[in-house]
Amino acid sequence: MATVEERVKAITAGVLKLSPDEIKLDDSFTADLGAESVQSIELVAMFEEEFGIEMDEDAALSVQSVGEAIEFITEVCREQGVEIEE
């Protein structure tokens, strides 16, 4: 199974039409990767689908960077009993 980081980067690359190699952990979704408002919503929706979790809307949308997203998703997976490869 791929790690959370690999899966988050793959989703992000798909939604924002980038190569996974270009994405760094401290990249901001909006400032560095160019995510627009609707793309931010799409990212959250895709993460939920990918990991089979449900995230709080406001909390999920306040996540700024790729690294924070990995931490946030890892935490939600733990809370919701979803198995992941860290």
Partner 1 sequence: MGKAKKKHRLIDAKKPNLLDEIFPYSMPPTIRLEGPVVEYIDGEPVEFDFGAVKDRPILISDTTFRDGQQARPPYTIEQMVHIYDLLSRLSGPNGVIRQTEFFLYTKNDRETLDRCQALGHTYPECTGWIRAVVGDFRLVKEAGLKETGMLTSCSDYHIFHKLKFRSRKECMDSYCEVVDAAFEAGVRPRCHLEDLTRADIEGFVLPFVDRLMAMSQQVPEEQSVKIRLCDTMGFGISYPGAELPRSIPKLIYKLNRECGVPSDRLEWHGHNDFHKVHSNAATAWLYGCDFINTTLFGFGERTGNPPLEGAIFEYIALKGDLCGIDTLAITELADYMRSIGLPIPDNYPFAGRAFNTTRAGIHAGGLRQDEQIYNIFDTAALLGRPPRVAITDKSGADGVAHWVNEFFGLKGDDRINKIRIHKLARWVIDQYDVEGRLTAISDQELEVKAEEFFPDYWEKYKG
- The Cα 57–Cα 59 span in angstroms is 6
- The Cα 62–Cα 69 span in angstroms is 10
The residue among 15 and 23 lying less far from partner 1, judged by its C-beta, is 15
Residues in contact with partner 1 by the rule CB under 8 A: 36-38, 41-42, 44-45, 48, 55, 57, 60-61
The residue among 32 and 42 lying less far from partner 1, judged by its C-beta, is 42
Q: What's the min distance (Å) between Cβ of 35 and partner 1? A: 12
| Token pair listed for 39 | 């793309």
| Token pair listed for 12 | 């992000």
The residue among 25 and 41 lying less far from partner 1, judged by its C-beta, is 41
Unique residue bearing structure tokens 């939920």: 48
